[in-house]
């Protein structure tokens, strides 16, 4: 990509971030009934500087398929809200016991454990509400809800998290690790792309290709996440590092070593990008995002 292309892409990504941040701020403005502490706890983490990768994937998938619709931004907000709920709960003492998230004290540190659990619960429920409030055909809304509930449910996000916790301090294989991450991390990546495509009235072939792109991207993202936990900088990451080894987690660097893990992540990114070949220039942001995921340092 030329330098001017890179500038255009970074402007495009900055615009997406800006639009998503505005939409999230609106979603997290509550009227009567929502206690102040709950709204504050939600905004503390939802509006903190996360990378917004999943909402970016939704918008980029719609763009790759030719159009954004009402459902695009609602889905972008919904996936970020579910992701954020999962981060709040993952940081709790009963799970990963992390004190720093997105450069801020974790929600349970700032607002107490009960409020953190409840802020997560509220975000999960509200994510679905955001989709139902879209001005769109009822069939489309139901389809999006089916996609999202399945990705966030017991066989995907939550199931992956349970298996991840159970794998602590146990010997595991690369196959077991892949199965965990396909659900814990990959499911939310895939559903982001699927929702973006569905919102754009994509063909089944386009949805399937973006889904496979998301599967490879999600796994590569997780491998890089494991590598950053070992080698990354806590300041840049905005969260604690070195925790995986301390907690006896099953990770890619522990199983395969650093070099092989890096190679695997690079191979996955190449395979992800192969899926984008039939798309035109409109999929260029997805190509670039894949390389960003590989090279990221936060
Ligand atoms: C509690 C149901 C439940 C699930 C938790 C999100 C998660 C599942 C665990 C977080 C721990 C972790 C390291 C997961 C793997 C990678 C991941 C999801 C990292 C966080 O996502 P980023 O880096 O975060 O996109 P930001 O803050 O940038 O949005």
Give residue-wise pLDDT tens across range 14-56.
Answer: 999 999 999 999 999 998 999 999 999 999 999 999 999 999 9
Q: Which residues pair with 101 in a beta bridge?
A: 104
- Whether the CB of 86 sits within 6 Å of ligand 1: yes
pLDDT band at 10 (very low <50, low <70, confident <90, very high): confident
- Whether the CB of 216 sits within 6 Å of ligand 1: no
Cβ contact 113:93 at 8 Å: yes
Alpha helices, DSSP H, located in the chain: 3-27, 36-46, 53-64, 70-90, 107-111, 113-132, 138-152, 157-166, 174-181, 187-199, 204-231, 234-237, 243-246, 252-256, 258-274, 284-295
Q: What pLDDT, on a 0 to 100 scale, did the predictor assign at position 2? A: 53
pLDDT per position as a tens digit, 124-133: 999 999 999 9
Nearest to 201 by CA among 57, 71, 55: 71
pLDDT band at 243 (very low <50, low <70, confident <90, very high): confident
Instruction: Give the range among 2-11, 94-103, 159-168 with minimum mean pLDDT.
Output: 2-11
pLDDT band at 1 (very low <50, low <70, confident <90, very high): low
Q: What pLDDT, on a 0 to 100 scale, did the predictor assign at position 6? A: 66
pLDDT band at 237 (very low <50, low <70, confident <90, very high): low
Q: Tell me the CATH number for domain 3-295.
A: 1.10.600.10
Other CB atoms within 10 Å distance of the CB of residue 274: 12
pLDDT band at 231 (very low <50, low <70, confident <90, very high): confident
Domains of the chain by residue range: 3-295
From 225, 249, 252, 289, the mutation candidate for ligand 1 (largest count of ligand atoms within 8 A of CB) is: 225
Nearest to 141 by CA among 150, 129, 154, 126: 129
pLDDT band at 116 (very low <50, low <70, confident <90, very high): very high
pLDDT per position as a tens digit, 150-181: 999 999 999 999 999 998 878 788 899 999 99
pLDDT per position as a tens digit, 208-221: 999 999 999 999 99
- Whether the CB of 183 sits within 6 Å of ligand 1: no
- Whether the CB of 89 sits within 6 Å of ligand 1: yes
- The most distant pair of C-alpha atoms in the chain lies apart, rounded to whole Å, by 54
pLDDT band at 3 (very low <50, low <70, confident <90, very high): low
From 86, 154, 187, 292, the mutation candidate for ligand 1 (largest count of ligand atoms within 8 A of CB) is: 86
Q: How many whole angstroms separate alpha carbon 57 and alpha carbon 213?
A: 11
How large a percentage of the chain has pLDDT more than 70? Answer: 95
Q: What pLDDT, on a 0 to 100 scale, did the predictor assign at position 122? A: 98
Length of the chain: 298
Q: Which atom of ligand 1 is nearest to the CA of 102?
A: 27
């Amino acid at each position: 990509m030329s330098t001017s292309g890179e500038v255009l892409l970074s402007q495009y990504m900055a615009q997406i971030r800006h639009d998503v941040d505005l939409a999230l701020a609106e979603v997290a403005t509550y009227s009567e009934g929502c206690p102040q502490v709950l709204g504050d706890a939600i905004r503390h983490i939802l509006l903190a500087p996360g990378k917004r990768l999943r909402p970016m994937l939704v918008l980029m998938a719609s763009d790759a398929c030719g159009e954004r619709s009402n459902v695009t931004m609602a889905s972008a907000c919904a996936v970020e809200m579910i992701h954020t709920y999962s981060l709040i709960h993952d940081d709790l003492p009963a799970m990963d016991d992390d004190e720093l998230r997105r450069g801020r004290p974790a929600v349970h540190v700032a607002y107490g454990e009960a409020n953190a659990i409840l802020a997560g619960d509220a975000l999960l429920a509200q994510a679905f509400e955001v989709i139902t409030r879209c001005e769109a055909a009822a069939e489309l809304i139901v389809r999006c809800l089916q996609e999202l509930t399945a990705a966030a449910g017991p066989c995907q996000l939550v199931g992956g998290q349970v298996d991840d916790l159970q794998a602590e301090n146990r010997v595991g294989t690369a196959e077991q690790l892949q199965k965990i991450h396909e659900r814990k991390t990959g499911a939310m990546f895939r559903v982001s792309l699927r929702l973006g495509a569905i919102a754009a009235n994509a063909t089944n072939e386009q949805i399937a290709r973006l889904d496979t792109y998301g599967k490879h991207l999600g796994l590569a993202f997780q491998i890089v996440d494991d590598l950053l936990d070992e080698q990354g900088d806590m300041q840049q990451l905005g969260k604690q590092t070195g925790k995986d080894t301390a907690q006896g987690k099953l990770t890619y660097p522990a199983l395969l070593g650093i070099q092989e893990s890096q190679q695997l992540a690079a191979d996955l990114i190449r395979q992800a990008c192969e899926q984008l070949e039939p798309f035109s220039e409109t999929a260029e942001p997805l190509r670039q995002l894949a390389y960003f995921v590989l090279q990221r340092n936060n």
